[in-house]
Structure 1
Amino acid sequence: MKKKNFADGFINTIEWLAAIFVGLVALNIFINVLLRKFFSTSIPDYYDFGRLLLGILIFWGIAATSYRGGHITVDLVWAAANKKWKRIIDVFATLVLLFVVSVQTYTLFDKVHTTFTDNIQTADLNIPTWPFSLIAWIGDVCAVLLIAVRTWRLVFKPESLHDEHFEQKAME
């Protein structure tokens, strides 16, 4: 059994948190549908919670998929390249992703700050929405960290990657 290091534990934690947010979104929808169907009522701020939790889910989902390399990709050029160029393409693509998500994280922090300073609240319960934006932003920060780990591993330790088809890529 392979010994896990800090980075692997961090990656697994991010994936579990993303899964928990999927569960929270599904639970919010399920409970509200049951309440509306059988009791003609709904969760106060159901829509706001759903919207805010979905935002959190998206950014934590980006974090979870960015490291593994298991998301949808188009590898036409990569498939036709030799081993050296495949590695160059992988590093370049990951660096572009790191740049894009870093800029996104920087701009999302402005959203958190604006939501806090403008004291934006939910419609029914008047709950401040900035903590939801903050949790989404933390997910984006985690995405940057995981992409940085992926970049480092691509360059220095490609055998430690957890790509779905890494074994297949390594054999080519």
Structure 2
Amino acid sequence: MTLNPMDRFIDGIEFAAAAFIGIVAVDIFVSVLLRYLFSASIPDSYDFGRLLLGILIFWGIAATSYRGGHITVDLVWAAAGPRGKRAIDVFATLVLLFVVTVQTAMLFDKVRTTRADHVLTYDLHLPTWPFFAVAWAGDVSAVILIAVRTYRLIFHPEKLAPDPIAKALE
């Protein structure tokens, strides 16, 4: 199956989110291993951990927002007919798009002020703003993917239909 450029972009964002999960897991594993086996620690381990976790959260928002894998309440949706379900989906996605867009603007302000204030890590005195910038890029990706999801919900809902094989495995 040939993927169009947007589907490759979506897959790339999901891969990036998965890579950040791996980076956070390796950071935690190595930190614990060094601490308990060698009584040593990675300089700025705490700072790296919290900054990487922030990155992971924002890239995770991007990955789950497009697929609709976030927490939902389906009580009203389950009782609605097909047109009602689609209307609820479009409305909910538009609200999500608005909220994440505002969040992205606020996070950009945080990147800007963190850079202007020269906030550094404790041990190595590395600037923290690049971590915030990578998190912001994840939030920008979320806005793009939510906009694509909204477009597809309205004009091409068949492109969002779950894969029958994946559905059978649930």
Q: CA deviation at 1:70?
A: 1.9
Unaligned stretches of 5+ residues in structure 1:
none
Q: How many residues align?
A: 166
1:16 offset after TM fit, Å? 0.5
Partner of 1:68: 67
Q: Given the two structures, how large is their TM-score scaled by the length of structure 1?
A: 0.93
Q: After TM superposition, list the pairs within 5 Å mapping 1:113-124 onto structure 2.
A: 113-124=112-123
2:46 corresponds to which residue?
47
Counterpart in the other structure of 2:10: 11
Aligned equivalents of 2:3, 2:94: Cα separation in 1: 25
What TM-score results when the alignment is normalised by the length of structure 2? Answer: 0.94
Counterpart in 2 of 1:37?
36
Q: 2:148 aligns to what?
A: 149
CA distance in 1, matches of 2:69, 2:16: 17
Counterpart position of 1:84:
83
CA deviation vs aligned residue, 1:4-41 (integer Å, no higher than 9, x gap)? 11110011000100011001111111001111111111
Percent identity of the aligned residues?
68
SS at match of 2:127: coil
Q: Secondary structure at the match of 1:122?
A: coil
Aligned mates of 2:18, 2:87 — CA distance in 1: 32
User: Is the 1:70–1:163 contact (alpha carbons within 8 Å) kept by the matching residues of 2?
Assistant: no
Mapped to 2, the partners of 1:126 and 1:160 lie a distance apart of 47
Matched-pair contact (CA < 8 Å) for 1:105–1:137: yes
- Superposed CA deviations along residues 55-89 of structure 1, whole A, max 9, x for unmatched, are 00000000000000122211110100111111111
Aligned to 2:92: 93
